Amino acid sequence: MSVMYSLRVALLVAIIGCGGDDPVFVQEIDGSPSAITATVGRELDITLGTVGPGAYDSIPAISFPALRFLDAAIVPPYVPAGPRQRFRFMPVTRGTAVLTFTHSGSTPTVTISVTVE
């Protein structure tokens, strides 16, 4: 595994709204798909970082309608390595949805499985 690939994957950070005001941080390091648990009615924010040119598509693929896509935005901190993008979702029904984030450059596709309870 190359150092650049490891850096790209290490920049993936998912922020999940849990019970209370404190978010839970999940960081993917080894390149395997992430698995996240969300709660119906509690917003889910996923922030992805990239290294190099390009960005993730503004609307990710969602395999099952357990999640409703709200919006996407470039978020700080702004770093020379590449943009950080935040994707917001609302869990609307119980089930498991697979999110697929496709990048326009050389950053690998990111797949995250979200189980909504």
Q: Are 26 and 36 a contacting pair, CB within 8 Å?
A: yes
| 102 pLDDT above the threshold of 90 | yes
State the pLDDT at residue 78.
Answer: 86
Mean pLDDT of 6-13: 40
Which residues contact residue 61 at a Cβ distance below 8 angstroms, ignoring those fewer than 6 apart?
99, 100, 102
- Tally the domains of the chain: 1
Q: What's the domain range around 64?
A: 3-116
- 66-75 tens-digit pLDDT: 999 999 999 8
State the pLDDT at residue 6.
Answer: 36
CATH of the domain at 64: 2.60.40.2020
Give the C-alpha separation, 49 to 116, whole Å.
Answer: 24
Give whole-number Cα distances, 104 to 51, 53, 74, 83, 109, in Å.
12, 8, 15, 12, 9
Q: Work out the pLDDT band at 33, boundaries 50, 70, 90.
A: low
